[in-house]
């Protein structure tokens, strides 16, 4: 008889996949933090996905790079924030597979210090040999995509075979497939739990994770902590991403509005800007457990967990899983903001 896990993997078999994950990531119980918060807290360590300093993009890139290789690409192109982990991970994946990479960096975060433009992920992707181009605007998905396509056209005219990693809402969320598998992996590792806390940015991680958990028969509440858009915008976005994912997988997990939980209490002051709640959450985790979170995503996500506890949406004694999506290289880009 096929196990549920096998049937999830079988469902994804028709998507080409580049194997970038070196192993399953650990799920660890946080003993001291559990005691401090009076919950049963576990962390799924997807900061330890391995390739090029890890993070959630490794799982997502298995499917993008799989398609790139299947298409015979020699160059991958991607656009993101200046301290984007996605572009750094894409450059690492490209290096692993022997492809070139073009990274377009968008000015999404205003008034940042010098390190933001030179250290952290920027430094790492230079070491990886990626070509950098910059895009002057931050909230212009269409314009940024067009600019990237112009570079792809130039490469094509020069005889190259480019592959654009599309992250815009109009494209199938291929990367979410990585989190369908990630959720199945977590389910195998720890069985039932009450609440999962995940970051919700593009929504690929959140959508894949929620879909994968439901496919595995898990009924846990999954809160997506908003890191870029407010609750209303993010909930609408999630509906779109979840529908696109269901269409892509040819499977409808029959999610209801009650399944799509978003929370934006720690979004302020805005995307990529470190406010006091994020700074406190990040230092609390480091000083209690020796685990580093990042200033843009996982720090805000843990701050979200603390906020949900305060609002009694998470109850004392509940078994809670925090998805650690990595991003620590950005700590060095935020030196001025964190010191």
Contact positions vs ligand PLP (CB under 6 A): 55-57, 85-86, 199-206, 294, 297-298, 325-327
Report which of 234, 292, 228, 297 is spatially closest to residue 260, judged by C-alpha positions: 234
d(CA 118, CA 29): 35
Q: Which is closer to ligand PLP, CB of 79 or CB of 200?
A: 200
Q: How far is the CB of 205 from ligand PLP (least distance, A)?
A: 3
Q: How far is the CB of 69 from ligand PLP (least distance, A)?
A: 22
Residue 216 preceded by cis peptide, ω within 30? no
Residue 323 and residue 104 in contact, taking contact as beta carbons nearer than 8 Å: no
Residue 119 and residue 329 in contact, taking contact as beta carbons nearer than 8 Å: no
Residue 325 and residue 296 in contact, taking contact as beta carbons nearer than 8 Å: no
Residue 209 and residue 187 in contact, taking contact as beta carbons nearer than 8 Å: no
SS3 sequence, 28-54? EECHHHHHHHCCEEEEEEHHHCCHHHC
Q: Which is closer to ligand PLP, CB of 155 or CB of 278?
A: 278
Report which of 317, 300, 308, 321 is spatially closest to residue 220, judged by C-alpha positions: 321
Q: How far is the CB of 159 from ligand PLP (least distance, A)?
A: 33
d(CA 126, CA 271): 24
Q: How far is the CB of 192 from ligand PLP (least distance, A)?
A: 24
Q: Which is closer to ligand PLP, CB of 178 or CB of 265?
A: 178
**Residue ranges in 253-317 assigned as alpha helix (H):** 276-289, 298-310
Q: Which is closer to ligand PLP, CB of 57 or CB of 108?
A: 57
Q: Which is closer to ligand PLP, CB of 91 or CB of 204?
A: 204
| Plot region of 254 (φ>0 → left; ψ -120 to 50 → alpha; else → beta) | left
Q: Which is closer to ligand PLP, CB of 40 or CB of 279?
A: 279
User: Per the residue annotation, which of 34, 84, 89, 298 is the catalytic one?
Assistant: 84
d(CA 200, CA 271): 12
3-state secondary structure of 299: helix
Whether 84 is catalytic is: yes
Proportion of the chain in helix, strand, coil states, percent, rounded to 5: 50, 15, 35
Q: How far is the CB of 158 from ligand PLP (least distance, A)?
A: 30
Q: Nearest-CB residue to ligand PLP?
A: 327
The token pair at 279 is 């700074």
Q: How far is the CB of 175 from ligand PLP (least distance, A)?
A: 7
- Residues with a known catalytic role: 84
């Amino acid at each position: 008889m096929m196990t549920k896990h096998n049937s999830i993997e079988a469902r994804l078999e028709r998507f080409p996949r580049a194997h970038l994950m070196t192993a399953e990531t650990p799920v660890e119980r946080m003993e001291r933090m559990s005691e401090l918060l009076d919950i049963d807290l576990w962390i799924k360590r997807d900061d330890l996905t391995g390739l090029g300093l890890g993070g959630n993009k490794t799982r997502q890139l298995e499917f993008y790079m799989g398609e790139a290789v299947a298409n015979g690409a020699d160059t991958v192109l991607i656009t993101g924030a200046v301290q984007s982990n996605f572009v750094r991970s894409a450059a690492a994946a490209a290096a692993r597979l022997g492809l070139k990479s073009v990274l377009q960096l968008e000015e999404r975060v205003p008034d940042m210090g010098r390190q933001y433009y030179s250290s952290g992920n920027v430094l790492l992707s230079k070491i990886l040999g990626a070509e950098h181009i910059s895009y002057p605007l931050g909230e212009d998905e269409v314009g940024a995509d067009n600019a990237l396509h112009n570079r792809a056209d130039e490469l094509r005219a020069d005889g190259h075979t480019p592959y654009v990693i599309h992250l815009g809402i109009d494209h199938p969320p291929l990367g979410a497939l990585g989190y369908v598998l990630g959720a199945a992996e977590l389910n195998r590792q720890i069985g039932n739990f009450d609440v999962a806390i995940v970051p919700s940015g593009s929504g690929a991680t959140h959508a894949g994770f929620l879909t994968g958990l439901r496919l595995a028969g898990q009924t846990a509440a999954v809160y997506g902590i908003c890191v870029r858009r407010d609750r209303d915008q993010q909930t609408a976005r999630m509906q779109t991403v979840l529908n696109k994912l269901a269409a892509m997988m040819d499977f409808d997990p029959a999610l209801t509005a009650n399944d799509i939980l978003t929370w934006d209490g720690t979004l302020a002051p805005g995307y990529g800007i470190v406010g006091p709640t994020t700074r406190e959450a990040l230092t609390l985790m480091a000083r209690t457990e020796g685990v580093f979170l990042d200033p843009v995503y996982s720090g805000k996500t843990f701050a979200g967990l603390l906020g949900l506890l305060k609002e009694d949406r998470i109850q004392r004694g509940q078994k809670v899983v925090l998805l650690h999506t990595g991003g620590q290289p950005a700590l060095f880009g935020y030196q001025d903001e964190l010191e």
